[in-house]
Structure 1
Amino acid sequence: MALKPAKQPERVRVNQREADLMVAAHEWFVARKPGGRRLVLRFAIMEDVDLSGRDLADVDLTGSTLVRCKFDRARLARACLFGADLQGSSFVGASLIRADLRGARLKGANLSLANLTQADLRAGRIAISDEDTKFAVLRHKVAAGQLDGANVSGAVLDRSRLDDVSAAAADFSECSMRGAKLVGANLKNASLRGAMIDNVDVRGANLESADFSDAVVTRVDLTQARTMGAVMDRCLCDPSADATARGAVIFARLAAHREWVTTGGKSGEPAVLDGEDLRPMGSLAGAFLTAVSARNACLAGMNLGRISLQGAQLDGADLRGVNLREADLRGANFSGANLGQADLRRAMLSSLPFKADREKITALEQANLRFADLREADLGETDLAQADLHGAKRTALVPTVVDTAQDDDDDDDSFVIDM
């Protein structure tokens, strides 16, 4: 039986005024206010429209043409952009947490500083049933996600799906790719300078002539990818065998330090960990390391949440991508330390009082805080002289609507960006 040709989806053209009205109704829907209506606009044409800063969580824009649109700082958590044409559009600082971007075309798009945690950018195919036969489908090739030439610098791509994505010559510099999947992806000539690439699956990926200079590349099997011509200058890889072997010695020092702190110096001794690679220790979350000396030490990517580091000496330390959420860092010395992409949400960085009329200021002069998350951090009188805060996030004065159902790890509260 011959199938009838599938009917093409109706293409509705939407201008700026119409878009504003529909989005306003959607924002009422998100806020659970009477009269709100979820925005479902499939296969529409909406070009050169500015929706910056709007709340578009859970919108359905399947197959829509959205070229050259502005979504800067917009909230697009769980948005369905399946098969959408987003070429040349801007998503600077936008939240695309768990967004469905399968088969989306993002060639030349600007996704810098966007949060794409658990976003799905795999290949996708849109099938349209015919009204009469219910069997005929729109015939076209399976479309791979397209990020060729896109700017994704400083973005968060943790646990995202980029299988088979085409991202030739894309800029992923200083982005976070922890737990991402790049199976069969094409990143030829892409820039991954300074990126956090941890536990990433690159089987069958094309990484030829990609630039990994100054990146953190750990728990990644590059033998499963094509890497001819790839630049790996100053790359921080997995801890060496010697560093791993020293784990027992460092553990003993940390135990003695904890005893020294908890007994007020009556027993134990302060730890000196200058120049050590502490990554083999795994997580140090909640540890008592007050006044520890870890100058020029390597702690990149470690979990240091809620750690006590009052008065610690961490000048020159490598703290890229560390979790320092809710940590007590009062009076610590981070001069010249590398805290790029570090999570410092709700961290205490104010002065540390140690005498009746004296206090020690937390030092961050000349530190690298590029793309760090400083939302709700207590900076107090912190010395930030000559610190690099490019792309760092800070809490905005007026928060946006927050979905209380989402995980704390995927927090996308309103923020301002240091540029």
Structure 2
Amino acid sequence: MSTGLQKLTQSELDEIIRKHMRFISGIRGGARAVVKFKDLSGLHFRKGDLSQADFTGSILINANMSNATFKGVSFFACDMRGANLENACFARADFRGATVVGANLTGADFEKADMREGVILERNPTNKTLSGSINNSKAKTIFSGSRLSETNLSGASANYADFSDADLSGVIVNDADFSHANFEGANLSGADFTGSNLKNANMKSSIISGTKLDEAETAGLNMDDALTEDRMGSKLEALGKTLEQLLEEHTAWIATAGKSGTRLDLSGYDLRHVLNLKKFSLTAVKAVGANFLNQDLQGASLQSAVMDRADFRDTKLANADFRGTSLKNGLFSRANLVGANLSPLIFPNPDGSKRLQRVNLSGANLRYAILSNAVLADCLLVGADLSYAVMHDCDLRRADLTGAILDNADFHGALLNDVISDRKLG
């Protein structure tokens, strides 16, 4: 898709980085990187040091900026959707008016970064200067759906910034200004807001287990429906048996078609801190409303289970086996479902025909979930929210997406044969 901006090649960016690093080292032949209104989509920054560079108005969609240094850099009004910013340093950088939707910023350093609203400016035909404001309108800095876990945001100026549906678990944000910021639906578990300004901020429906608000300014802070530690679910200890004992009884129940043993019912239980949970077979378990938040269930066996309304937000579910499982109204925002199997189980009928036990994700929240290469053939996604979901190369043949919310969902390379949908996909 044409952006209207000059597209740089990887070799051109490499040369810009080389000259800039000579510049900041005081070596002859260096030149400060001033890369305004350019298209750098998908390019790799090679872990370089671009401190004090200027990328104003540029497009960095899906760029790989991980482990690089961007101290004091201007990203004013940049489009950084889906970029990899993992472990990069953005201390004192200017993010005013930038769009960082769905980016990975895990472990990045944003100390004293500027994330306030930015006045929208237009570029002149030469692409070299900013020529003025457009109706004095302002653009919010948008980090919605981004992964910022374990980042340092201390001293940042982020009033009116949008962090809705973002993962900010374990962030350090001491003495920062987040007044009027939007954290609706965000994961704030273990975040430290000590001494920060949260006046009139919105934390509605966010996860605030272990969140520190010591000496923070909280006047007007909206915490309606926020998920606190005491609402995370019942503890397994209350069952009076170890998980191994319960699973042994469950295995017997499956092997005897219910004649002996007991079906494992984990409905309403908090399973976040169960060690090595993925090593246990959870085939045919009942776990309605169970809490798997932030768990590692990569490659787990979860087929033919009943897990309606279960919380899988931020959970690692790559290559998990969900065949035939009911997941109605489940919470999967920001979950990693790369390569997961959500296809039906097939059973023979007495007359020789076949019966499909389909995965049911009707009404599920899959906002910002990553479903690349997942198999969702015949899956029921009626009324599911797939906003900003990444569906690259996934198998959606014969899936039912009637009434699904598909805002900005990315279906690049997906198999869409015989999909049932009231909206055009792709």
The separation in 2 between residues aligned to 1:219 and 1:283, in whole angstroms, is 22
Structure 1 residue 192: Cα displacement: 0.2
Which of residues 212, 233, 236 is equivalent to 1:221? Answer: 212
Instruction: Say if 1:251 and 1:281, in contact at 8 Å, map to a contact too.
Output: no
Q: Which amino acid aligns with 2:291?
A: C
What do you get for the CA RMSD once the two structures are aligned?
3.0
**Partner residue of 1:173?**
164
| 5+ residue gaps, structure 1 | 1-15, 28-35, 123-143, 398-413
Instruction: Say if 2:148 and 2:168, in contact at 8 Å, map to a contact too.
Output: yes
The separation in 2 between residues aligned to 1:283 and 1:179, in whole angstroms, is 21
Structure 1 residue 390: Cα displacement: 0.6
1:389 and 2:386 are equivalent in the alignment: yes
SS in 1 for 2:255: coil
Structure 1 residue 175: Cα displacement: 0.4
The separation in 2 between residues aligned to 1:287 and 1:176, in whole angstroms, is 27
**Partner residue of 1:369?**
366
**Partner residue of 2:407?**
none
CA 1:272–1:185: 2 relative to 1, 3 Å: same
Structure 1 residue 115: Cα displacement: 0.9
**Partner residue of 1:145?**
113
**Partner residue of 1:62?**
51
Instruction: Say if 1:302 and 1:323, in contact at 8 Å, map to a contact too.
Output: yes
> Identity across aligned pairs (percent)?
29
**Partner residue of 2:122?**
none
Q: Which amino acid aligns with 1:24?
A: S
The separation in 2 between residues aligned to 1:308 and 1:325, in whole angstroms, is 11
The separation in 2 between residues aligned to 1:241 and 1:335, in whole angstroms, is 19
Instruction: Say if 1:295 and 1:316, in contact at 8 Å, map to a contact too.
Output: yes
**Partner residue of 1:305?**
298
TM-score computed with the length of structure 2 as normaliser:
0.76
The separation in 2 between residues aligned to 1:387 and 1:241, in whole angstroms, is 23
**Deviation sequence 1:8-62 (CA, Å, 0-9, x none):** xxxxxxxx76x725x32557xxxxxxxx996442533221111122233323322
1:199 and 2:199 are equivalent in the alignment: no
**Partner residue of 2:86?**
97
**Deviation sequence 1:197-249 (CA, Å, 0-9, x none):** 122222222222110001111121223432222110000111359834x6331
Which of residues 273, 280, 285 is equivalent to 2:278? Answer: 285
Q: Which amino acid aligns with 2:388?
A: G
CA 1:230–1:40: 2 relative to 1, 3 Å: farther
Structure 1 residue 315: Cα displacement: 1.5
Structure 1 residue 349: Cα displacement: 1.1
TM-score computed with the length of structure 1 as normaliser:
0.77
SS in 2 for 1:223: coil
Q: Which moved more, 1:281-290 or 1:59-68?
A: 281-290
**Partner residue of 1:7?**
none
Larger relative contact order (C-alpha < 8 A, sep ≥ 6)?
Answer: 1
**Deviation sequence 1:50-94 (CA, Å, 0-9, x none):** 112223332332201211111112121222211111111110111
The separation in 2 between residues aligned to 1:336 and 1:233, in whole angstroms, is 20
SS in 1 for 2:250: helix
Instruction: Say if 1:90 and 1:109, in contact at 8 Å, map to a contact too.
Output: yes
Instruction: Say if 2:17 and 2:33, in contact at 8 Å, map to a contact too.
Output: no
CA 1:55–1:251: 2 relative to 1, 3 Å: farther
1:24 and 2:17 are equivalent in the alignment: no
User: How many aligned residue pairs are there?
Assistant: 357
The separation in 2 between residues aligned to 1:415 and 1:65, in whole angstroms, is 33
Structure 1 residue 331: Cα displacement: 0.6
Instruction: Say if 1:253 and 1:271, in contact at 8 Å, map to a contact too.
Output: no
Instruction: Say if 1:283 and 1:302, in contact at 8 Å, map to a contact too.
Output: no
SS in 2 for 1:349: coil
The separation in 1 between residues aligned to 2:184 and 2:240, in whole angstroms, is 31
Q: Which amino acid aligns with 2:311?
A: D
The separation in 1 between residues aligned to 2:391 and 2:210, in whole angstroms, is 31
Structure 1 residue 269: Cα displacement: 1.0
The separation in 2 between residues aligned to 1:232 and 1:24, in whole angstroms, is 48
CA 1:73–1:250: 2 relative to 1, 3 Å: farther
1:44 and 2:33 are equivalent in the alignment: yes
Q: Which amino acid aligns with 1:193?
A: E
**Partner residue of 2:71?**
82
The separation in 1 between residues aligned to 2:291 and 2:254, in whole angstroms, is 27
